[in-house]
Amino acid sequence: MSEVAVKPFSDVHLKGHTVIATLLHDPTVEGLDVALYMDGSASMENTYGPRGILAKLGPVRNQVEPQMQWMLEYLANKDRDGILRVAYWATGSGAELELVGDLEGAKAKQYKFPGPRAYGKATILLPVLRDYVAHIKREVAERGARRGLAVIITDSQLSDAPDVIAYTQQVAREIVAGRLPRINFVLLGVGDQVDEEQMEKIGHDDYPGVGHLWCHRHADKMEEMAELVAVLVDETMTVAAGGTIYDGTGRVLKVYEGRLPAVLTFDVPEGCKEFVLEVAGQRYTQPLPEEHHDDDHDDEDDYDHSMPPQVTKPGRGGHGHGH
């Protein structure tokens, strides 16, 4: 599980006796389209700070804006054209999106993020997924996108976790069928009200044919920006010229000759509590997490992603961003 991963690992999963360990790597993915969704629910209002004349007079400042700026700048370097779809989610009724626009990473420091026009009464995530699926379909058809990544920021508990999981099953089936490109979602928690258990549940579900579609992170625990896009890392990426895996007693479990892939897959013996990676003369000890059991995913297609998402576009003179 990601919360026990220590450097140089970003994620470690245990299934039976098989370990799947992802090394921290700053990937470049060809044809990647990235979108950024910021929580606009009522619990975020104080974080965005005061508006208007109060913003100039008071000592309280917008805590969100600088974070959005650096994330936009970093993620735009991963995006194929350096432009991200950006929106506030969980606005109004809690199920609405307020589109900020297509923002350029090169201009990140110029954009303003004062918060949505109407803070949401709930934190409903499903419209975000529908919005991004509709968006990536357009990007594939019109601009040649080949892979998608949606980074979703929240500060609290989701109101519709079961719906999110059910819809993700549908997305996974669409990917397997070739009707959607590979898509990943990153749930980034901020503050001390995040439901870590809920994020863990969503993040660790495994879907037939595609594996994990979700990754979750907590901003306070992130040490490297690359952790934000760790879900993009795969076994085709190389991080070193080779390496060796040992169990806790020093027995060799696997030898990688020539290249060390960014995702390591190997078996451990019964009762093994940790493994050691030796690379370039250095040894790194990684404790093993408890085995994660995925719930059975049924094949019922209860959620139609062709339904149009509720998106509120910025009005004339909208405050979503400035150029």
Q: Where do the domains of the chain lie, and which CATH numbers do they carry?
A: 31-205 (3.40.50.410)
Count of residues making up the chain: 323
Q: Which two tokens stand for residue 270?
A: 């019964």
CA distance readout (Å), 158 to 94, 113, 280: 10, 22, 43
Per-residue pLDDT of the chain (323 residues; tens, 9 = 90+): 444 788 899 989 898 999 999 999 999 999 999 999 999 998 887 776 554 443 444 444 667 788 889 999 999 999 999 999 999 999 999 999 999 999 999 999 999 898 899 999 999 999 999 999 999 999 999 999 999 999 999 887 899 999 999 999 999 999 999 999 999 999 998 877 778 888 888 877 888 889 889 988 887 788 888 888 988 998 999 999 999 999 999 999 999 999 999 999 999 999 999 999 999 999 999 999 887 554 444 444 444 444 444 455 443 333 343 33
Confidence (pLDDT) at 100: 96
Rounded Cα distance between 136 and 180, Å, is 8
Confidence (pLDDT) at 1: 40
Angle at 171 between CA 153 and CA 224, to 5 degrees: 35
Rounded Cα distance between 142 and 135, Å, is 11
Confidence (pLDDT) at 293: 54
Rounded Cα distance between 269 and 288, Å, is 12
In this structure, which amino acid lies at residue 109? K
Confidence (pLDDT) at 66: 83
From the centroid of its chain, how far is CA 298? Answer: 24
Q: Which two tokens stand for residue 63?
A: 């805590």
Confidence (pLDDT) at 220: 78
249 contact partners, CB below 8 Å, separation of at least 6 = none
Of 95, 91, 96, 93, the residue nearest 117 (C-alpha): 91
CB 109 within 8 A of CB 87: no
Q: Which two tokens stand for residue 114?
A: 């004062």
Instruction: State the DSSP string of 52-86.
Output: HHHHHHSS---SHHHHHHHHHHHHHTTSSSSEEEE
**Predicted model pTM:** 0.78
Of 322, 320, 323, 306, the residue nearest 38 (C-alpha): 320
Q: Is the peptide bond before 289 cis (omega within 30 degrees of 0)?
A: no
Confidence (pLDDT) at 62: 63
